[in-house]
């Protein structure tokens, strides 16, 4: 038993005074405290290596000063963290040194002494080490031997000063298990200092806490591992220590220094409104006088756009560039994937077709495109002040996260801060945000600097408590709640509300909804017009109610042509063509011809009969044609004669080569053209609608519809909505640009 | 273990006896001269010299062993730590003063002055040892103390009277020549007493090998042991210096040689073996010193340096390898 009463300890001056604790036989008392807090000073004083400065220490009920050296040595043994390097000493000899107080003048061990030594070695499972050189065993084994040494000294009390320092987990646990057994099974009195607070929690019966000035607490682990006591003792943050386990937690400095002049918008799901927010941010920054550009590393879309240089890119970035007020450039979207089947895509890099690839091989391949992405990004960086990056789908697709190049992978590449957009309209907005944030890695999570709730309808004050709770949980501010709005923009994915059922209108345009429909934005202009409805038809009987049938482009003309025939559209289109105009664009145009040949198996291979409404033949070539076109139509016959000499502007993008070379082929009521965006230029769309109305005997005094001006107004509207419903100052802070009053 | 110890001991004793006989027979005077003169040379010159080599060599080695244990430093030794030089300085000063005053110095006075000198040098080393933990610095400090002492000694010799110079100079180089039976009696007495005392300290010394903390925990009275170790090691090297002048490297090298041969660190085995080995080495070196260029005699330190420095270096390198 050790008992201290009003003990003062220290080297020259008193370090800790008034120490009172008792270690009873069979008990383990542990001293804890930060480095230099006096743990060793207390132990050394009890070990008589330091003179006590006051008070008393009693060892087995005898005052320490009254004990002669040899008597003391028979009561107290010790183990320290000191690394001994004795010359030419075996482990057995090391343990044997402990018999010192029991041997005679010359220190020769008796048979009994050796028995004690061997038993001690057995107790620490180190019998096999006995003949090994003490300097040639591991730190862990050495400390075991030192414990055996203490055991061999055959004392009631064992004092250990940080015995587990330098040891690996195995030896730490091993050593403490032996120490525990010594106390509990052999009734030894154990006093030790330890740094591993989790182990202290498990092993100590009583904990003595010192802080370099005083004993701040003596108690059980329940008393000590409570509140912020340990944290205060060691001078660490409250959340750097887990009270219930005794474990420390390493909190690394968050890397808050993100790149400036860039922001990335990611969504909790597809169609959460990323493209929309990006476009709005582009316009907003433009309004503040910044030159800004959109960027998306990889687009997966059927719709594409051909730039002036004849490069193919995603339409969404074209729309966003328009909102930013700059010319679209292929470096805004270096990778474009156009799905050709359920499991494969055409891979377009920097606007040019690389090859068709099954999804699985692309998943492996895509990391090789990182240099291309970065090249495009850095090129764009040279051109503008701010880049707004768009993500794709959700960043928390944990099955696909490896090799990501479009969400967090992209953000990491350019060290961009991220805004996360959730769609409240589809429900579970808090779960969307919380779930997404929680599924991310910590460093990814740190990247998210703001949350945005999109498509909100109703009273925001009802939402606010939820926002507060969410912010508390994820520690990320919600910087915007964007109301549901009817702003119309070109969209990227096939997944939109465009194909929903619509009400009949004065003029009804019927677009055949191919399963592999592409470039359906060709007809977007009609959707913006009063009195006109654009119907996407999956049912051939709907044709009867239409004033005009439109056949859009297709990513797989032959497959969609087969579908056209099987679904009954063929018959109905042929019948309709006798009464109303039928217009085919690109793929749709090819289908209207006599036949399509695919000698190089670009699509399905072989050959297929067309609808035979136009007298042209198409051969699918290996080379893809992509170009911007401009010109004026020659004289146009038939119901759409109004288009004669009209200026058209657009782009072509097709693998096929048809016999009809004119920009607009006509045969009866049937028209065909390769030009995408045909209807956008001038007032072509307007002319068509008026013609159709006239044919119905209705006069529509449609003003000349300026699509461009209308789009501009939409972008401004979008920017206004964002500005009114977002913390713009916070946004600017995240982007790292100075906020200032808008210049008018 | 036990077998190795007894083998080594028996071998050492045999070598020592053999070497003593050889030493008796070699010398600048050959056996062919007058048997009476020869007998006289053997009894009164060679035998005392051999006994001096045995006891002083042993004393020096045991002193080295104690210092190495005390400083826990493998290259400690009376010569390296400057203790021999301190002793030398004081003996030189005493000799000059005594000659000046016309007093003949007794052996005991020589020993006493050497002891005072070595204690002073030791005092300086201890002051440094308290401040520097690094073993190389400690040795550097010792060497520097040695240099200062030697410089002062040289200074004294320069200003001493001519007649004393030859005597002093010879002595300060270190030599075992010129011992008479009276010297031998004193040497044997002092060395035997000291070495026996050391031998009976082998138990606390063995505890001291684990460091002062553990030693104290085993019941060793550290303060007392420290004082005794310093006194004994200084006394041993003082005796050597008083009679033979400073002899280099025996103190460092021999304990290592012994540990290497016996492969143990037990003081109870090492202390007598160190004494024996020191005797063998010194006898061997003295034999070389007086026979190789006979009748000219070399200083014994030159021989010990040439033979033992490589031994010390090898030992240090091996130690380094083991640590890595």
Q: Please write down the HEC assignment for all residues of B135-194.
A: HHHHHHHHHHHHHHHHHHHHHHHHHCCHHHHHHHHHHHHCCCCCCCHHHHHHHHHHHHHH
The verdict on A106 touching B (C-beta cutoff 8 Å) is: yes
Q: Is the minimum CB–CB distance between A105 and chain B shorter than 8 Å?
A: yes
Asked whether residue A495 carries a pLDDT value surpassing 60, the answer given is no
Looking at the complex, does the CB of residue A119 fall below 8 Å from at least one CB of chain B?
Answer: no
Phi-psi region of A677 (alpha: psi -120 to 50; beta: other; left: phi over 0): left
A157 CA to chain B: closest CA distance, Å?
12
Domain ranges, residue B163 = 2-200+231-323
Residue B181 lies in a domain: yes
Q: Is A107 on the interface with B (CB under 8 A)?
A: yes
| Cβ–Cβ contact A720 with B under 8 A | no
Is A740 part of any domain?
no
Rounded-to-integer distance, Cα A36 and Cα A49, Å: 17
CA B19, B20, B26, B28 torsion: positive or negative? Answer: positive
Position A147 in a domain: yes
Percent of chain A surpassing pLDDT 90? 43
A221 vs A207: CA distance, rounded Å:
7
The nearest CA of chain A is from the CA of B184 a distance in Å of 30
DSSP A696: T
Domain for residue B47, yes or no?
A: yes
| Residues across chain B | 324
A47/B216 CB distance under 8 A: yes
CB B171 within 8 A of CB B156: no
The rounded distance, in Å, linking the Cα atoms of A336 and A653 is 14
What is the 3 state secondary structure string of A303-350? CEEECCCCCEEEHHHHHHHHHHCCCCCHHHCCEEEEECCCCEEEEEEC
Q: Tell whether the torsion through CA atoms of A456, A461, A466 and A470 is positive or negative.
A: positive
* Nearest chain B residue to A157, by CA: B217
Alpha-carbon gap, residue A499 to A542, rounded angstroms: 14
Question: How close does chain B come to A73, measured CA to CA in Å?
Answer: 5
- d(C-alpha A501, C-alpha A522), whole Å: 19
Q: Determine, yes or no, domain membership for B226.
A: no
The residue behind tokens 């966003």 is A320
User: Which residues of B fall within a CB distance of 8 Å from A84?
Assistant: 210-211, 214
pLDDT band at A494 (very low <50, low <70, confident <90, very high): very low
Q: Which chain B residues are within 8 Å of A94, Cβ to Cβ?
A: 210
Q: Which of A49, A78, A107 sits opposite B206 (nearest CB)?
A: A107
Percent of chain B with pLDDT over 70: 89
Determine the distance in angstroms separating the CA of B261 from the nearest CA of chain A, rounded to an integer: 11
CA distance B124 to chain A (A): 24
A207 and A121 housed in the same domain: yes
* Long-range Cβ contact pairs of B154-161 (< 8 A, separation 24 or more): B156/B89, B156/B92, B156/B93, B156/B96, B157/B92, B160/B96, B160/B99, B161/B99, B161/B100
How is residue A734 written in tokens?
Answer: 């995240």
State the Cα–Cα distance between residues A46 and A9, nearest whole angstrom.
9
pLDDT tens profile A132-169 = 999 889 989 999 999 999 999 999 999 999 999 888 99
Instruction: Give B202's contacts in chain A (Cβ within 8 Å).
Output: 106-107
Cα separation values, B319 from A85, A302, A559, B61, B259, Å? 11, 76, 83, 20, 12
Decide if A132 is inside a domain: yes
How far apart are the C-alpha atoms of A693 and A691, rounded to whole Å? 5
Which residues does chain B have within 8 Å of residue A87's beta carbon, measured at their own beta carbons? 209, 259, 265
Contact B263 A85 (CB under 8 A): no
A713: in domain: no
pLDDT for residue B322 is more than 60 = no
Does residue A538 form part of some domain? yes
B213, part of any domain: no
Contact A88 B322 (CB under 8 A): no
Catalytic residue among A209, A535, A654, A676: A676
Count: domains in chain B: 1
Buried/exposed A48-75: b ≥16 CB within 10 Å, e otherwise = bbbebbebebbbbeeebeebebeebbbb
**A-chain residues within 8 Å CB-CB of B265?**
86-89, 93
CATH of the domain at A271: 3.40.50.300
CB pairs under 8 A between A and B: 73
Mean pLDDT of B274-292: 91
CA nearest A389: which of A291, A328, A322, A317? A317
pLDDT tens digits, residue range B236-258?
988 888 888 888 889 889 998 99
Provide the percentage of residues in chain A whose pLDDT is more than 70: 96
Same domain, A240 and A125: yes
Give yes or no for residue A744 having a pLDDT over 60: no
CATH code for the domain of B10 = 1.10.3470.10
Gyration radius of chain A over CA positions: 41
Q: Would B223 be classed as within a structural domain?
A: no
Q: A8-34, pLDDT tens digit by residue?
A: 999 888 999 999 999 999 999 999 999
Residue B203 is nearest to which of A47, A78, A107, comparing CB atoms? A107
Task: Look up residue B317 and give its DSSP letter.
Answer: H
Q: Kindly list the residues from chain B whose CB atom is less than 8 angstroms away from the CB atom of residue A154.
A: none
Q: Specify the pLDDT at position A45.
A: 93
Query: How is residue A473 written in tokens?
Result: 């949980």
Residues A220, A366 within the same domain: no
To the query of whether residue A209 is one of the catalytic residues in this protein, the response is no
Q: Mean pLDDT over all residues of chain A?
A: 87
Using an 8 Å CB-CB cutoff, list chain B residues near A78: 213-214, 217
Q: Which of B4, B205, B218 is the mutation pick for testing A, counting most A CBs within 10 A?
A: B218
- From the list A84, A93, A103, the residue facing B211 with the nearest CB is A84
Residue B324's pLDDT is 42
Nearest chain A alpha carbon to B212: A49
Q: Which of B202, B216, B268 sits opposite A49 (nearest CB)?
A: B216
* Residues in B touching A153 (Cβ below 8 Å): 217-218
Q: Is residue B219 domain-resident?
A: no
Known active-site residue A261: no
Domain count for chain A, please give it: 3
Residue B200 with chain A: CB contacts under 8 Å: 105-106
Subunit contact A86:B323, Cβ cutoff 8 A: no
**Residue A516 scores a pLDDT above 70:** yes
For residue range B24-81, what is the model confidence (pLDDT) as tens digits?
887 666 666 677 777 777 788 888 889 999 999 999 999 999 998 888 877 788 888 8
Q: Of A106-110, A319-323, A702-706, where does mean pLDDT reach its minimum?
A: A702-706
Q: Is the pLDDT of residue A493 over 60?
A: no
Query: With 0-12 CB in 10 A as exposed, 13-18 as middle and 19+ as buried, what is B2?
Result: exposed
A110 close contact with B: CB closer than 8 A: no
My answer on whether A63 and A96 are in the same domain is yes
Domain with A111, as residue range(s), is 2-248
Instruction: Check A91, A535, A586, A654 and give the catalytic one.
Output: A586
Tokens of A191: 């006093």
**Can you name the residues that pair with A423 across neighbouring β-strands?**
A454
How far, in Å, are A45, A211, A419, A457, A470 from residue A464 at the CA level?
62, 46, 19, 13, 10
Least confident of A240-244, A591-595, B65-69, B281-285: A240-244
Identify whether residues A474 and A570 lie together within a single domain.
no
Rounded to whole angstroms, how far apart are CA atoms A413 and A298?
Answer: 14
A90 at interface of B, judged by CB pairs closer than 8 A: no
Residues of B with CB under 8 A from a CB of A: 200, 202-203, 206-207, 209-214, 216-221, 259, 263-266, 268, 322-323
Entry pTM: 0.60
CA distance A357 to A225: 59
Residue that finishes a domain, picked among A199, A216, A248: A248
Kindly state whether A87 is in contact with chain B, defined as any CB-CB distance less than 8 angstroms.
Answer: yes
Closest B-chain CA to A93: B266
- Looking at the fold, whether A467 and A533 belong to one and the same domain comes out as no
- Tell me: do A601 and A678 sit in the same domain: yes
Q: Does A88 touch chain B (CB under 8 A)?
A: yes
Q: Give the tens place of pLDDT for each residue, A310-355.
A: 888 888 898 899 999 998 999 999 999 888 777 788 899 998 888 8
Residue A651 domain-assigned (yes or no): yes
| CA quadruple A530, A533, A534, A540: dihedral, nearest 10 | -160
Say yes or no to pLDDT of B196 above 70: yes
Contact A70 B219 (CB under 8 A): yes
A228 within some domain? yes
Contacts of B203 in chain A (CB under 8 A): 100, 103, 105-107
* Inter-chain residue contact B263 with A135, CB threshold 8 Å: no
Mutate to test the interface with B, among A72, A88, A131 (most CBs of B within 10 A): A88
Residue A668, judged by CB atoms within 10 A of its CB (0-12, 13-18, 19+), counts as: middle
CATH value at residue A554: 3.40.50.880
Say whether both A148 and A285 belong to one domain: no
Burial environment of residue A649 by CB neighbours within 10 A (0 to 12, 13 to 18, 19 or more): middle
Picking from A250-254, A614-618, B86-90, B227-231, which range would have the lowest pLDDT averaged per residue? A250-254
Task: Decide if A693 contacts A700 (C-beta within 8 A).
Answer: yes
In angstroms, how far is CA B50 from the centroid of its own chain? 15
pLDDT tens digits for A204-221?
999 999 998 899 999 998
Tell me which chain B residues have a C-beta less than 8 angstroms from the C-beta of A48: 216
Question: Does residue A255 register a pLDDT over 70?
Answer: no
The pLDDT confidence band at residue A270, using thresholds 50, 70 and 90, is confident
Point out the residue among B203, B219, B268 whose CB comes nearest to the CB of A69. Answer: B219
Chain A: nearest CA to B213, how far in angstroms? 7
Q: Is residue A165 part of a domain?
A: yes
Same domain? A583 vs A536: yes
Is residue B214 assigned to a domain? no
């Amino acid at each position: 038993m050790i008992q201290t009463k009003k003990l003062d300890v220290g080297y020259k001056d008193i370090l800790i005074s008034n120490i009172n604790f008792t270690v009873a036989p069979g008990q383990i008392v542990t001293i804890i405290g930060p480095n230099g807090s006096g743990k060793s000073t207390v132990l050394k004083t009890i070990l008589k290596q330091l003179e006590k400065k006051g008070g008393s220490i009693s060892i087995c009920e005898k005052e320490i000063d009254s004990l002669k050296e040899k008597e003391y040595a028979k009561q107290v043994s010790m183990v320290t963290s000191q690394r001994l390097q004795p010359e030419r000493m075996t482990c057995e000899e090391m343990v044997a040194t402990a018999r010192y107080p029991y041997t005679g003048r010359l220190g020769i061990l008796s048979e009994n002494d050796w028995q004690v030594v061997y038993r001690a070695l057995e107790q620490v499972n180190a019998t096999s080490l006995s003949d090994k050189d003490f300097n040639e065993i591991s730190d862990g084994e050495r400390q075991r031997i030192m414990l055996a040494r203490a055991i061999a000294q055959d004392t009631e009390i064992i004092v250990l000063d940080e015995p587990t320092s330098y040891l690996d987990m195995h030896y730490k646990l091993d050593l403490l298990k032996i120490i525990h057994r010594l106390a509990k099974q052999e009734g030894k009195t154990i006093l030790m200092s330890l740094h591993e607070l989790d182990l202290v929690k498990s092993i100590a019966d009583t904990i003595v806490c010192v802080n370099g000035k005083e004993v701040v607490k003596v108690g059980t682990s329940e008393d000590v591992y409570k509140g912020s006591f340990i944290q205060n003792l060691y001078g660490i943050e409250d959340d750097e220590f887990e009270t219930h386990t005794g474990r420390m937690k390493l909190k690394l400095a968050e890397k808050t220094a993100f790149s400036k002049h860039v922001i990335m918008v990611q969504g909790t799901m597809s169609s959460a409104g990323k493209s929309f927010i990006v476009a709005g941010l582009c316009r907003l920054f433009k309004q503040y006088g910044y030159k800004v550009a959109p960027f998306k590393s990889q687009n997966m879309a059927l719709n594409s756009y051909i730039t002036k240089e004849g490069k193919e890119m995603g339409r969404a970035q074209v729309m966003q560039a328009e909102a930013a007020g700059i010319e679209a450039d292929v470096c805004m979207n270096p990778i474009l994937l156009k799905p050709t089947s359920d499991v494969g895509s055409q891979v377009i890099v920097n606007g040019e077709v690389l090859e068709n690839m099954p999804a699985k091989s692309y998943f492996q391949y895509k990391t090789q495109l990182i240099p291309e992405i970065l090249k495009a990004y850095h090129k764009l960086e040279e051109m503008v002040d701010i880049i707004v990056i768009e993500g794709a789908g959700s960043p928390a697709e944990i099955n696909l996260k490896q090799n990501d190049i479009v969400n967090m992978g992209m953000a990491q590449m350019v060290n961009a801060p991220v805004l996360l957009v959730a769609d409240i309209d589809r429900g579970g907005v808090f779960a969307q945000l919380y779930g997404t944030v929680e599924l991310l890695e910590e460093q990814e999570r740190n990247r998210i600097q703001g949350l945005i709730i999109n498509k909100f309808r109703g009273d925001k004050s009802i939402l606010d408590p939820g926002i507060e709770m969410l912010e508390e949980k994820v520690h990320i501010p919600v910087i915007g709640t964007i109301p549901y709005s009817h702003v119309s923009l070109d969209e990227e994915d096939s997944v939109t509300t465009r194909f929903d059922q619509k009400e009949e209108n004065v003029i009804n345009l019927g677009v055949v909804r191919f399963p592999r429909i592409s470039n359906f934005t060709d007809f977007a202009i009609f959707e913006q017009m009063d009195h006109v409805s654009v119907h996407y038809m999956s049912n051939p009987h709907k044709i009867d109610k239409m004033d005009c049938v439109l056949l859009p482009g297709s990513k797989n003309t032959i497959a969609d042509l087969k579908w056209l025939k099987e679904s009954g559209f063929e018959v109905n289109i042929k019948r309709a063509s006798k009464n109303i105009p039928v217009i085919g664009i690109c793929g749709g145009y090819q289908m209207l011809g006599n036949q399509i040949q695919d000698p190089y198996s670009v699509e399905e291979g072989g050959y297929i009969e067309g609808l035979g409404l136009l007298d042209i033949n198409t051969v699918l070539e290996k080379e893809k044609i992509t170009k911007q076109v401009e010109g004026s139509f020659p004289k146009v016959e038939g119901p759409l004669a109004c288009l004669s000499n009209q200026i058209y502007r657009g782009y072509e993008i097709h693998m096929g080569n048809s016999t009809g070379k004119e920009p607009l082929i006509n045969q009866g009521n049937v028209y065909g053209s390769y030009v995408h965006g045909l209807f956008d230029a001038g007032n072509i769309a307007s002319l068509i609608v008026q013609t159709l109305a006239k044919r119905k005997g209705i006069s529509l005094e449609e003003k000349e519809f300026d699509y461009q001006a209308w789009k501009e107004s939409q972008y401004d509207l979008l920017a206004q909505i964002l500005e009114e419903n977002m913390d713009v100052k916070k946004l600017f802070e995240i982007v790292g640009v100075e906020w200032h009053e808008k210049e008018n | 273990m036990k077998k190795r110890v007894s083998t080594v001991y028996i071998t050492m004793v045999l070598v020592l006896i053999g070497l003593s006989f050889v030493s008796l027979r070699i010398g600048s005077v050959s056996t062919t001269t007058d048997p009476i003169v020869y007998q006289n040379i053997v009894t009164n010159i060679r035998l005392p010299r051999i006994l001096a080599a045995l006891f002083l060599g042993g004393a020096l080695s045991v002193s080295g062993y104690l210092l190495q244990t005390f400083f826990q430093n493998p290259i400690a030794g009376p010569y390296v730590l400057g203790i021999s030089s301190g002793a030398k300085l004081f003996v030189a000063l005493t000799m000059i003063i005594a000659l000046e005053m016309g007093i003949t110095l007794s052996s005991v006075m020589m020993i006493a002055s050497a002891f005072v000198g070595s204690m002073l040098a030791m005092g300086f080393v201890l002051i440094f040892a308290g401040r520097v933990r690094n073993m190389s610095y400690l040795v550097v400090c010792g060497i520097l103390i040695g240099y200062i002492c030697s410089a002062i000694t040289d200074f004294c010799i320069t200003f001493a009277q001519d007649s004393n110079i030859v005597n002093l100079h010879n002595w300060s180089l270190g030599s075992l020549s010129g011992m008479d039976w009276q010297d031998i009696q004193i040497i044997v007495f002092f060395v035997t007493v000291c070495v026996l005392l050391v031998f009976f300290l082998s138990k606390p010394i063995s505890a001291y090998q684990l460091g002062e903390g553990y030693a104290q925990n085993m019941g060793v009275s550290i303060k007392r042991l420290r004082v005794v170790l310093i006194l004994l090691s200084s006394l041993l090297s003082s005796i050597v210096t008083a009679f033979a002048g400073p002899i280099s490297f025996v103190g460092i090298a021999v304990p290592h040689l012994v540990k290497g041969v016996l492969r143990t660190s037990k003081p109870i085995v090492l202390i007598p073996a160190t004494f024996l080995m020191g005797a063998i080495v010194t006898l061997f070196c003295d034999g070389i010193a007086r026979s190789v260029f006979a009748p000219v005699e070399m200083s014994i330190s030159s021989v010990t340096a040439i033979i033992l420095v490589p031994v010390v270096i090898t030992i240090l390198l091996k130690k380094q390898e083991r640590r890595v």
